[in-house]
């Protein structure tokens, strides 16, 4: 509040974008680090209007703490809005500014806001949400603008706009679904967020007496943006709808990803590909390799390869720049579908994605069985939700699995891990946190004590490694896939 908001602008030494009430973007080199006039400008470093503003934080400080400086800063921002006006458009800049402007109007009942809000609303509804830039999340970049606008204006355009967004194949955010439920829609829209809430609640680090007890580090972007601002509204609506039973998501529910390793984009014969899926094709029929990014994750450059059971390379597709079809996110209409001509070859196919971070939703085919073979001493990353079933590659073999939280982008983050055996008995259930006494855990997987398949569930950011067990560990989205994969590996499948 004290550093990142412009409290005063010197008229004798002006800086670009430097006006009282404006807020600095996190991408600025330093707070208050805007260029002078005449210097090169590479970004919008600060503004009173944009996706990075948060004047509502001042109101919270004023309401809860009675902080007079916070109220002064909020008044400065209101002054900037009234003097410099708005530039309405269908984007996250207007989305955020409108959400904050509604709250400011309700806090002050300043009639000048009426003339600002209606043009912003008109611009926002002038373009279908599905046609916005970054349509998967920009229409709800501000979690509450639609809810606040409905409370204030009862705009009849709101519900049709959300319904069309969903019909166009996009996932509404929790507060959108709360609003739909309040307006009479089926509560099923609330149900789809149970997995995200389950993930986030279990990612809270619990260890009484530890300084980090109660800490929840980071979030997986596939979950709703600004989760903490969504969840209280969702929980209130879910309670009214009778949907507060939190159940663990299934491994093939469309939101779980495969564990992966880091690799170069180019093919290197001596390097393990970042993602190496073994897919069983017992009939030798043509199939499609479907690659969908988890929502909110940017993709690196990628090299895709498909190997037939006899080792023949059936596909090699590089996506390293936009001219080759590379996109940041393979979601919605941009999901990749690679047709694979099997030519009657029956057996185990190898599907490779070589990239620094090949994150794709599992399963990736419609074949009867697919999965990974996690090799001993290879570090596999768990990013987001990795959910599925495990069994020893060599039947009856005892394995030791190491799990650890990691340092993600200089932040301490948690990883929640749960393992349950075939009888429903717990093998492991813990939340790990980087740089604490509970950063790493080693789990003995003994089939005699805990019969497989083992239900594996992990979310947030971490890594795992098979420490003991030369045969490795099979991992599949569904339990019934494990036995066919083992049988195929025992017969004529390619060496993974």
Domain-located, residue 192: yes
The answer as to whether 8 is a domain residue is no
Between CA 246 and CA 402 the distance in angstroms is 27
Mean pLDDT value of segment 227-256 = 77
Residue 332 counted as domain residue: yes
Q: Where in the sequence is the domain holding 449, given as residue range(s)?
A: 275-490
On whether both 295 and 235 belong to a single domain, the answer is no
- Please check whether residue 50 lies inside any domain of the structure: no
Peptide bond preceding 363 in cis form (omega within 30 of 0): yes
Q: Which of 95, 14, 13 is nearest to 49 (CA)?
A: 95
Long-range contacts of 341-344 (CB under 8 A, 24+ apart): 341/286, 341/314, 342/281, 342/284, 342/285, 342/286, 342/287, 342/308, 342/314, 343/284, 343/308, 344/284
List, for residues 293-345, the tens digit of each pLDDT value.
886 667 778 999 999 999 999 999 998 887 777 777 787 778 889 999 999 99
227 & 364 share domain: no
Residue 334 located in a structural domain: yes
| pLDDT for position 496 | 47
Whether residue 182 is predicted with pLDDT greater than 70 in this model: the reply is yes
What's the whole-number average pLDDT of the chain? 87
pLDDT at 219: 47
In a shared domain, residues 199 and 289: no
Weakest-pLDDT range from 196-200, 216-220, 361-365, 492-496: 492-496
Q: Which of 196, 222, 244 is the last residue of a domain?
A: 244
pLDDT category at 406 given cuts 50, 70, 90 is confident
Same domain for 310 and 178: no
Q: Between 125 and 297, where is the model more confident?
A: 125
Phi, psi of 37, rounded to the nearest 5 degrees? -65, 135
Same domain for 406 and 362? yes
Identify whether residues 384 and 440 lie together within a single domain: yes
Please check whether residues 353 and 411 belong to one and the same domain.
Answer: yes
The reported pLDDT for the residue numbered 30 is 57
Last residue of a domain, one of 224, 244, 264: 244
Same domain, 353 and 452: yes
Among 140, 219, 216, CA closest to 176: 140
Is 216 a residue whose pLDDT tops 80? no
47, 231, 432, 436, 450 from 206: Cα distances, Å:
39, 20, 9, 12, 26
Q: Which of 151, 87, 152, 154 is nearest to 124 (CA)?
A: 87
Do 360 and 222 lie in a common domain? no
User: Is there a domain that residue 126 lies in?
Assistant: no
Same domain, 329 and 187: no
Domain count, the chain: 2
Based on the fold, state whether residues 214 and 357 are members of the same structural domain.
no
402 and 282 in contact (C-beta within 8 Å)?
Answer: no
Q: Is residue 451 one of the residues assigned to a domain?
A: yes
Q: Does residue 116 carry a pLDDT above 60? A: yes
């Amino acid at each position: 509040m004290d550093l990142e908001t412009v409290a005063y602008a010197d008229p004798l030494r002006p800086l670009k974008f430097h006006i009282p009430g404006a807020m600095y973007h996190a991408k600025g080199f330093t707070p208050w680090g805007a260029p002078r006039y005449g210097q090169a400008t590479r970004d919008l470093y600060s503004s009173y209007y944009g996706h990075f503003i948060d004047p509502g934080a001042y109101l919270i400080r004023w309401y809860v703490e009675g902080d007079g400086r916070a109220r002064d800063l909020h008044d400065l921002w209101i002054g900037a809005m009234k003097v410099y006006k708005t530039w309405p458009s269908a984007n996250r800049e207007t989305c955020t500014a409108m959400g904050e402007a509604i709250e400011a109007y309700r806090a002050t009942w300043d009639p000048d806001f009426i003339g600002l809000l209606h043009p912003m609303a008109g611009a926002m509804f002038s373009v279908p949400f599905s046609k916005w830039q970054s349509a998967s999340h920009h229409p709800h970049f501000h979690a509450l603008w639609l809810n606040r606008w409905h409370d204030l204006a009862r705009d009849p355009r709101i519900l049709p706009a959300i319904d069309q967004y969903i019909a166009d194949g996009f996932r509404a955010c929790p507060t959108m679904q709360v609003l739909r439920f309040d307006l009479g829609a089926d509560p099923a829209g609330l149900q789809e967020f149970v997995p995200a809430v389950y993930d986030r609640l279990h990612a809270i680090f619990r260890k009484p007496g530890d300084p980090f007890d109660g800490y929840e580090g980071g979030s997986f972007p596939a979950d709703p943006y600004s989760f903490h601002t969504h969840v209280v509204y969702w929980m209130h609506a879910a309670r009214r709808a009778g949907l507060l039973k939190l159940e663990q998501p299934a491994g093939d529910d469309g939101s779980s990803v495969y564990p992966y390793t880091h690799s170069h984009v180019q093919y290197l014969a001596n390097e393990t590909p970042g993602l190496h899926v073994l897919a069983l094709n017992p009939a030798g029929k043509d199939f499609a390799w479907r690659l969908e990014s988890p929502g909110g994750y940017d993709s690196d450059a990628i090299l895709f390869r498909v190997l037939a059971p006899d080792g023949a390379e059936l596909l090699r597709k590089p996506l390293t720049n936009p001219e080759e079809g590379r996109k940041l996110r393979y979601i919605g209409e941009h999901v990749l579908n690679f047709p694979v001509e099997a030519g009657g070859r029956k057996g185990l196919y190898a599907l490779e994605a070589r990239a620094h971070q090949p994150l794709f939703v599992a399963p990736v085919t419609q074949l009867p069985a697919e999965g990974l073979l996690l090799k001993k001493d290879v570090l596999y990353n768990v990013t987001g939700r990795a959910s599925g079933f495990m069994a020893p590659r060599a039947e009856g073999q005892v394995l030791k699995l190491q799990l650890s939280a990691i340092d993600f982008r200089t932040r301490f983050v948690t990883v929640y891990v749960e393992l349950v055996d075939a009888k429903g008995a717990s093998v492991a259930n813990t939340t790990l946190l980087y740089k604490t006494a509970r950063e790493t855990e080693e789990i003995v997987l003994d089939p005699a004590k805990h019969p497989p398949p083992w239900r594996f569930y992990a979310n947030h950011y971490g890594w795992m490694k098979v420490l003991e067990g030369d045969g490795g560990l099979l991992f599949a989205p569904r339990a019934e896939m494990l036995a066919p994969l083992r049988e195929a590996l025992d017969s004529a499948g390619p060496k993974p």
